[in-house]
C-alpha cells in the first residue's frame, strides 16, 4: 500500500486513502510526506466552506479576482509540496465541487499549484463518516483509491513513543528510476491491453458505491499508466493495488494477468538489435512493442533514433507481420526529423504506405 501511495505521489496522480476513523491515517500520512521531502499542508474539508478553497472575491487593478490563500502560497513556495485533503467524505457537496477543480486543474481560486505539488486525500467510508457524503463519480474518477493498511504492531511500537519515531520507508528505495523509458513501457502496456479489451476503456458503474471508487475511463487509465511507470516491474502486489485503485477491481485483475502473461520486450533493447524479437509471438505482444518503439522515437526526436525505429518496423514487416508494423510506420513517416534517410529495405516494405502519405524528402 505504501509503495503504491509513494508511486502516485511521485507521479503526481491524486490519491485517496480510505480507512475507518481513528486508525492513524492523518498522522502517518503527514509523517510520510515530510520524510519524503515534501512540505505538507493539511486541509480538513469538514470544517471548510467553498471560499476556503477559492479565496474571496476582491478588486485588483479594476478587475475582480480571488484572493490568494496562505496555504496555497506556502505550497507553491516549496520545491516539493503535498496538499493533504483530510476527511474528504464529510465535505458538503458544495465543497466537493470546488475541490474538484483543485484535484483536476490544480487551481486554488486564481492560484495555479505548480507541478511539484502532489495531492493526497483521506476519507472515512460514508457509512462511518460524520454527516458523510458519497463521492460523486466525476470526483472519484480523478483519484487513485487505496484502502488504509497499518499494522497493529507498528501502531503499538509508535504508541510507546507518542509516534515521534515512526519508521518512514525511503521513497526512492521503494520505486524504480522513473526514467522516460519506464514511462514509455508503462503507457505501451496499457495501450496494448486496451486494444484487446475495448469494452474496458470506459465504463461507469451503475452501483453508486462502486462509482465512488476507481472505475475505467480514459482519465483513470492515464493515471494508472503514470503510477505504473514508477513501480518495479516485478512488484505485482503494488501494481495490482495501484491499477485497482484507478480503474477498479475487475479491469485491474484482467490487466495484471495480461501483463504477466505478455512478458514484453524492452523497446530500447529492440531498437539496438531487432533480431532479438521472436516475430511469431502473439500479436498483442508485437503491437505493444511497436507502440513503445514509436514512443521512444517520438520522445527522442533525433534522426538516429528515428532511423533505428524505422528499421524495427521494417524487420517486423519483413518477418510476416506487416499489419502490426504499418500503424507504427505511418506514425513515424508523419514525424520525420531533419536529415533522416529511408533505407532501401524500408522503401520496399512500405512503398504503398509512402505513396498514400504523399510526403517524403530523403
Task: Indicate whether 309 and 195 sit together in one domain.
Answer: no
Q: Within its chain, how far is the Cα of 50 from the centroid?
A: 28
pLDDT for the residue numbered 361: 42
Domain-embedded: residue 259: no
DSSP assignment string, 282-331: -HHHHHHHHHHHHHHHHHH--HHHHHHHHHHHHHHHHTT-HHHHHHHHHH
Task: Indicate whether 163 and 214 sit together in one domain.
Answer: yes
Task: Indicate whether 212 and 303 sit together in one domain.
Answer: no
Residues of the chain with pLDDT under 50: 361-362
Task: Indicate whether 171 and 199 sit together in one domain.
Answer: yes
Burial class (CB in 10 A: 0-12, 13-18, 19+), 178: middle
Task: Indicate whether 273 and 241 sit together in one domain.
Answer: no
Domain that holds residue 66: 2-254
- Residue position matching grid coordinates 503510477: 227
The 10s digit of each residue's pLDDT in 311-324 is 999 999 999 999 99
pLDDT for the residue numbered 262: 78
* Sequence-ordered list of residues with C-beta below 8 angstroms from that of 78, at least 6 positions apart, any chain: 38, 39, 116, 117
List helix spans (H) across the chain: 2-11, 25-35, 51-54, 70-77, 93-105, 137-140, 152-160, 171-174, 180-196, 208-211, 218-228, 236-247, 249-262, 267-272, 283-300, 303-318, 322-333, 344-349, 351-357
Residue 181, CA atoms < 13 Å, CB-side half-sphere:
11
pLDDT for the residue numbered 323: 93
| Contact in structure between 277 and 289 (CB atoms under 8 Å) | yes
Domain-embedded: residue 100: yes
Q: Is 180 helix (H, G, I), strand (E, B) or coil?
A: helix
Task: Indicate whether 18 and 130 sit together in one domain.
Answer: yes
Task: Indicate whether 231 and 278 sit together in one domain.
Answer: no
Task: Indicate whether 69 and 160 sit together in one domain.
Answer: yes
Residue 58, CA atoms < 13 Å, CB-side half-sphere:
12
Which candidate, 139, 144, 114, places its Cα nearest to that of 6?
144
- Assign residue 12 a region: left if phi > 0, alpha if psi is -120 to 50, beta otherwise? left
CATH of residue 86's domain is 3.40.50.300
Q: How many residues does the chain have?
A: 362
Which candidate, 138, 168, 28, places its Cα nearest to that of 84?
28
The 10s digit of each residue's pLDDT in 141-194 is 999 999 998 766 766 766 766 655 566 789 999 999 888 888 888 988 898 889
Task: Indicate whether 243 and 271 sit together in one domain.
Answer: no
Whole-number percent of the chain with pLDDT over 90: 51
Is this prediction's pTM over 0.85?
no
Task: Indicate whether 82 and 53 sit together in one domain.
Answer: yes
| Contact in structure between 232 and 156 (CB atoms under 8 Å) | no
- Residue position matching grid coordinates 475487475: 250
pLDDT for the residue numbered 165: 59
Rounded to an integer, what distance in angstroms lies between the CA atom of residue 268 and that of residue 173?
A: 24
Domain-embedded: residue 261: no
Burial class (CB in 10 A: 0-12, 13-18, 19+), 359: exposed
Choosing from 254, 282, 303, the residue where a domain stops is 254
Domain count, the chain: 2
pLDDT for the residue numbered 2: 93
pLDDT for the residue numbered 195: 82
Task: Indicate whether 204 and 326 sit together in one domain.
Answer: no
Rounded to an integer, what distance in angstroms lies between the CA atom of residue 18 and that of residue 309?
A: 44
Amino acid at each position: 500500500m505504501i509503495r503504491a501511495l509513494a508511486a502516485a505521489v511521485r507521479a503526481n496522480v491524486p490519491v485517496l486513502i480510505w480507512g475507518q476513523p481513528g486508525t492513524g491515517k492523518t498522522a502517518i500520512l503527514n509523517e510520510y510526506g515530510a520524510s519524503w521531502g515534501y512540505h505538507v499542508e493539511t486541509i480538513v474539508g469538514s470544517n471548510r466552506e467553498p471560499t476556503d478553497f477559492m479565496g474571496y472575491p476582491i478588486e485588483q487593478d479594476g478587475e475582480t479576482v480571488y484572493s490568494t490563500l496562505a496555504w496555497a502560497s506556502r505550497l507553491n513556495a516549496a520545491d516539493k509540496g503535498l496538499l493533504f485533503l483530510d476527511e474528504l467524505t464529510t465535505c458538503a457537496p458544495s465543497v466537493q465541487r470546488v475541490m474538484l477543480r483543485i484535484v483536476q486543474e490544480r487551481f486554488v481560486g486564481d492560484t495555479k499549484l505548480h507541478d511539484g505539488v502532489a495531492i493526497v486525500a483521506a476519507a472515512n467510508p460514508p457509512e462511518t463518516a460524520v454527516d458523510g457524503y458519497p463521492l460523486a463519480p466525476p470526483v472519484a474518477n480523478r483519484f487513485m483509491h487505496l484502502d488504509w493498511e497499518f499494522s497493529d504492531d507498528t501502531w503499538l511500537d509508535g504508541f510507546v513513543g507518542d509516534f515521534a519515531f515512526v519508521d518512514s520507508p525511503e521513497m526512492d528505495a521503494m520505486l524504480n528510476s522513473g526514467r522516460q523509458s519506464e514511462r514509455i513501457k508503462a503507457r505501451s502496456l496499457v495501450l496494448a491491453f486496451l486494444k484487446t479489451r475495448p469494452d474496458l476503456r470506459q465504463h461507469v458503474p451503475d452501483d453508486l458505491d462502486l462509482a465512488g471508487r476507481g472505475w475505467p475511463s480514459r482519465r483513470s487509465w492515464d493515471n494508472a499508466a503514470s503510477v505504473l511507470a514508477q513501480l518495479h516491474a516485478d512488484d505485482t502486489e503494488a501494481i495490482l493495488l495501484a491499477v485497482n485503485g484507478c480503474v477498479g477491481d475487475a479491469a485491474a485483475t484482467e490487466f495484471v494477468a495480461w501483463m504477466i502473461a505478455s512478458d514484453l520486450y524492452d523497446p530500447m533493447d529492440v531498437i539496438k538489435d531487432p533480431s532479438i524479437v521472436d516475430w511469431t509471438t502473439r500479436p498483442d505482444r508485437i503491437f505493444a512493442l511497436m507502440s513503445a518503439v514509436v514512443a521512444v522515437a517520438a520522445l527522442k526526436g533525433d534522426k538516429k533514433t528515428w532511423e533505428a525505429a524505422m528499421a524495427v518496423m521494417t524487420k517486423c514487416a519483413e518477418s510476416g507481420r506487416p499489419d502490426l508494423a504499418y500503424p507504427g510506420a505511418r506514425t513515424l513517416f508523419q514525424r520525420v526529423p531533419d536529415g533522416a534517410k529511408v533505407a532501401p529495405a524500408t522503401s520496399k516494405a512500405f512503398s504503398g504506405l509512402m505513396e498514400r502519405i504523399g510526403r517524403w524528402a530523403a
